[in-house]
Amino acid sequence: MDLSGILKPGAVKVIASASSKKRLLHDLGDLAHGAYGLPADAVVEALQERESLGPTGVGHGVALPHARLDQLDSVAGAFILLEKPVDFDAVDRQPVDLVFALFAPLDAGVTHLKALALVSRTLRDANLRKKLRANPDAATLYAILTTDQGVQAA
């Protein structure tokens, strides 16, 4: 499993700012709708439901919101770079500017966990985070996420 199998180029976006965590989740819903045809409302509701269990801000400006949806056959991802970070109730209390959302089928089981672990490992790399923040262009961000990841796995 690699990020190019989870993330479509059309599921990567740069947003100047989000006024709140809730607004950011709506942006993710819109992005998932545009890239994968998922119903935006269902995506937002599932993400909010997951966030109510505990925030998915993992630290270092990174959030990994995720949800299971019955409209999917395989794991799919969406990435947003925020030019202005937003409070996401992260574990380190730092605002978030790198957001990688994962959407999985209801019955994904271990596949969902493997995808989450892959994204987490990838975004744990300080150099990769620095590259992402320095390149506010969706196509470049996609290339960084899908090519650098393979190097890290080696």
**Minimal CA–CA distance to 3: which of 77, 88, 106, 67?**
77
Q: Helices in the chain by DSSP H: which ranges?
A: 21-36, 40-53, 110-124, 126-133, 138-153
Length of the chain measured in residues: 154
Ramachandran angles phi, psi of 124, nearest 5°: -75, -20
The CA distance from 129 to 120, in Å, is: 12
Residues 6+ apart with CB under 8 A from 23: 86
Nearest to 69 by CA among 114, 101, 98, 100: 101
The distance of Cα 142 from the centroid of its chain, to the nearest Å, equals: 12
Catalytic machinery residues: 66
